[in-house]
């Protein structure tokens, strides 16, 4: 197996995955995306998962597909886009793969399928998504499960990562690290809630591992770097890496939610996307801890510890002058 089609490879995870796979001798890669790639235009074909017929010719000859394309922000409008792109997009990809003769897929789902404040769920835990993104990801997994029921010779690997962070990413973890490092951080709640996170270098290494080692059947894996940090530990680690004293003033949860609702109203009136909302306050204060023991006992070895991933990100973003301003906006 050396011909890999990556759908949605122009984004944050896809760019890092292509960089990793490009280092493998004999690997032939194709990026299929609705957007051009700022780093790998020479292997990029423009196509949309909403256009099934356009996918068929660019998938021909591939040994496996990695599907990264998704609608994932908290504020996608209209909400039907979550289901059009994530769910119907999967149906289109599977149909195009079947016509193109490709029978292996690695799909990046999300721990959002479990919902909020669940007690360290593993892969067998009941799903209970609380937002449209999580609901659409779960429906997409159901499409895959039903497909495998009638295509038992296919190899389907589903990866459920927690929030992914890393160099060049502009998402919730980056915003949090920026606030902490800049001394503008307000701790809502006690700070003892744990936050499972995943460094992008480990996520792409896991995708590579699944392509190499999990070539049969239907498999589902949570992914988070272990052990988890709680919010107080995260603040302390940022201070240690940046050699700063980081003051953290604690505010009660009810006050944080009240502020979030105020920003919701302001966003509605101004029709602007604001960095604070009730959903983001709720996510911040939630315990988002996930059991990833299945994948960590499978033979996969993460190249970086969580602390190392955070250090690499903090150093790149806040202590070095970077050669360009190319970034990727996610949640």
The ranges assigned to domains in the chain are 3-166+196-225+289-304
Catalytic option among 82, 133, 199, 223? 133
Does residue 245 carry a pLDDT above 70?
A: yes
- Note the pLDDT of residue 187: 86
- Is this model's pTM higher than 0.85 or not? yes
Average confidence score pLDDT of the chain: 93
Mean pLDDT within 261-273: 91
pLDDT, tens digit, 9 for 90 and up, residues 94-145: 999 999 999 999 999 999 999 988 899 999 999 999 899 999 999 999 999 9
**Residue range 3-166+196-225+289-304 in CATH 3.40.50.720:** yes
Is 261 among the residues known to form the active site?
no
Does residue 84 carry a pLDDT above 90?
A: yes
Full 3-state SS string of the chain: CCEEEEECCCCHHHHHHHHHHHCCCCCEEEEEECCCCCCCHHHEEECCCCCHHHHHHHHCCCCEEEECCCCCCCCCCCCHHHHHHHHHHHHHHHHHHHHHCCCEEEEECCHHHHCCCCCCCCCCCCCCCCCHHHHHHHHHHHHHHHHHHHCCCCEEEEEEECEEECCCEECHHHHHHHHHHCCCCEEECCCCCEECEEEHHHHHHHHHHHHHHCCCCEEEEEECCCCCEEHHHHHHHHHHHHCCCCCCEEECHHHHHHHHHHHHHHHHHHCCCCCCCHHHHHHHHCCECCCCHHHHCCCCCCCCCHHHHHHHHHHHHHCCCCCCCCCEECC
């Amino acid at each position: 197996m050396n011909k890999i089609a990556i759908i949605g490879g122009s984004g944050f995870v896809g760019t890092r995955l292509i960089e990793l796979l490009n280092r493998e001798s004999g690997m032939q890669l194709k990026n299929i995306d609705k957007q051009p790639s700022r780093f790998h235009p020479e292997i990029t074909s423009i196509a949309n998962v909403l256009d099934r017929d356009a996918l068929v010719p660019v998938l021909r000859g591939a040994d496996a597909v990695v599907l990264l394309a998704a609608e994932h922000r908290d504020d996608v409008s209209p909400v039907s886009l979550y289901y059009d792109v994530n769910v119907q997009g999967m149906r289109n990809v599977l149909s195009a793969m079947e016509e193109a003769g490709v029978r292996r897929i690695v799909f990046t789902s999300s721990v959002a399928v479990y919902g909020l404040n669940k007690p360290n769920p593993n892969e067998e835990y009941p799903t209970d998504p609380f937002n449209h993104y999580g609901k659409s990801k779960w429906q997409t997994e159901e499409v895959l499960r039903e497909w495998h029921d009638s295509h038992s010779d296919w190899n389907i690997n589903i990866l459920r990562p927690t929030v992914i962070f890393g160099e060049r990413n502009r998402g919730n973890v980056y915003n949090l690290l920026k606030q902490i490092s800049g001394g503008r951080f307000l701790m809502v709640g006690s700070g003892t809630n744990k936050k499972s996170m995943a460094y992008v270098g480990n996520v792409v290494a896991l995708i590579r591992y699944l392509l190499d080692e999990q070539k049969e059947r239907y498999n589902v894996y949570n992914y988070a770097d272990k052990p988890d940090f709680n919010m107080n530990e995260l603040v302390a680690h940022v201070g240690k890496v940046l050699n700063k004293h980081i003051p953290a003033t604690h505010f009660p949860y009810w006050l944080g939610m009240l502020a979030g609702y105020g920003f919701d109203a302001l966003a509605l009136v101004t029709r602007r996307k604001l960095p604070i909302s009730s959903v983001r306050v709720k996510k911040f204060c939630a315990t988002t801890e996930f059991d990833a023991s299945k994948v960590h006992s499978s033979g996969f070895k993460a190249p970086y510890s969580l602390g190392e991933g955070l250090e690499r990100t903090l150093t790149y973003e806040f202590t070095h002058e970077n050669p360009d301003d190319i970034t990727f906006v996610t949640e």
